[in-house]
Structure 1
Amino acid sequence: MRKLIYGMNLSLDGYIAAPGDDIGWSVPSDELFGFWSDQLLAIDLELYGRKLWQTMSSYWPTGDQQPGATPAEVEYARRWRDLSKVVFSSTIDEVDWNTRLVTGDAVAEITRLKAQDGGPMHIGGATLAGAAVRAGLVDEYLLATAPVLVGGGTPFFTALDNWVNLNLVETRTLPCGVILTRYETRR
């Protein structure tokens, strides 16, 4: 059975985007890019909700060709393009860059993917991840907490039906002030 990891950049007050879907506060440093790039190497499949997919696919297919791209950004873009991805959406018609579109029941498909042999999967996007959390499918939480308060927006954690007990596995501080925290679900 595959492991499912939910991880994203978030503000200290728990938001992945400020009001208006503003993510301008979350510009990663080279060390944070390096961290997320290493995460891409450690997984077999990336699962996206529509909004996060549209954000990622609007930049990363050519992120290594952008003027001023740092070596860390170039490496991240290359790894992102090569990684297998699944997008869950009923409102878009096609996806590119090594990606498959699922328009049906996301929880059923994630459950099916988890039951397969293979390496870990990563899930991103608050709505999609929230459904997976409520269904008890998330095995690990990976938070990259930025030293900023945004005051509102899209929360990392959506409303839950029940408590989810966790075990702290790792805490690390990057030179840029981002705190990386990893928890495993206690089963």
Structure 2
Amino acid sequence: MRKLLYGMNMTLDGYIAAPGGDIGWSEPSDELFQWWLEQDRATGLLLYGRKLWETMSSYWPTGEQQPGATPARNEFARNWRDTPKVVFSSTIDTVGWNARLVAGDPVAEITRLKGEDGGPMNVGGATLAGTAMRAGLIDEYTVVTHPVLVGGGTPFFTALDARVNLNLVETRTFPGGVVLNRYETRR
């Protein structure tokens, strides 16, 4: 059975994007970028909502050709292209880059995917992750908190109907005062 992981960069006041979708505050240090790369290498399947898919697919297919490309960014781009992806959207018609499109119920599809053999799945995008959170499907949360307050935007966590108890399994500090906390869901 696969594990479902949710992790993103977050502001100290709980947002993954500031108003207007601004994520300029979240530029990772080389050390943090390397950590994210290692996590992605261990991923068997990426699950995206439409907005994050559009962001990722507009940059990473040609990541090696982007200004400032480093060996780690080149490896991330190659890994992103090679990793199978599922995109959940009812508003786009096609996806590329080793991805398939699901227009139906994300809870049913994620539940089905969790029942398969394979490496862990990462869910990306606040709306899709929120749906998975409310359905109790997320097994692990990685919160990478940046020391910045933005006052609003897209929250990391969604409103829940019931409490979710977690166990802290890792804490790490990165340059610039960035703190990573990884939690497993208590079942």
| Same fold at TM > 0.5 | yes
Question: Equivalent residue of 1:176, what SS?
Answer: helix
Question: Match of 2:184?
Answer: 184
Note the alpha carbon deviations across 1:106-130, whole angstroms, 9 max, x for none: 0000000001111111101111011
1:70 aligns to what? 70
2:18 is equivalent to residue 49 of structure 1: no
What's the CA shift for 1:168? 0.3
Q: Within 5 Å, which residues of 2 pair with 1:4-83? A: 4-83=4-83
| 2:119 equivalent to 1:110 | no
Q: How many pairs does the alignment contain?
A: 187
TM-score, normalised to structure 2, is 0.97
Shift of 1:29: 1.7
| Aligned 1:96-107 pairs, distance under 5 A | 96-107=96-107
TM superposition shift of 1:41: 1.0
Q: How does 1:105-184 map to 2 (within 5 A)?
A: 105-184=105-184
Contact 2:53 2:87 in 1 (8 A): yes
The answer to which of 63-72 and 50-59 deviates more is: 63-72
What amino acid is the match of 1:9?
N
- Distance (Å, rounded) in 2 between the aligned partners of 1:59 and 1:151: 27
Write the distance in 2 (CA, Å) between the matches of 1:133 and 1:35: 24
Contact 2:19 2:154 in 1 (8 A): yes
Identity of aligned residues (%): 76
Deviation sequence 1:60-104 (CA, Å, 0-9, x none): 111111122122211111111111111000001111111111000
AA aligned to 2:144 is: A
Distance 2:42 2:128 in 1: 21
Query: What is the CA-CA distance between 1:176 and the residue it aligns to?
Result: 3.3
Deviates more, 1:37-46 or 1:170-179: 170-179
Q: CA deviation at 1:140?
A: 0.3
Deviation at 1:131, TM superposition (A): 0.7
Unaligned runs of 5+ in 2: none
Instruction: Indicate the SS of the match to 1:161.
Output: coil
Give me the whole-angstrom Cα distance separating, in 2, the residues matched to 1:170 and 1:160.
Answer: 24
* In structure 2, C-alpha distance between the alignment counterparts of 1:64 and 1:180, rounded to whole Å: 27
Runs of 4+ in 1 over 4 A off after TM superposition: none
Q: Is the 8 A contact 1:30 1:70 kept in 2?
A: no
**Is the 1:30–1:73 Cα contact (8 Å) retained in structure 2?**
no
Cα contact 2:29–2:175 (8 A) shared by 1: no
Q: Which amino acid aligns with 1:177?
A: G
RMSD over aligned CA atoms reads 0.9
Q: Secondary structure at the match of 1:172?
A: strand
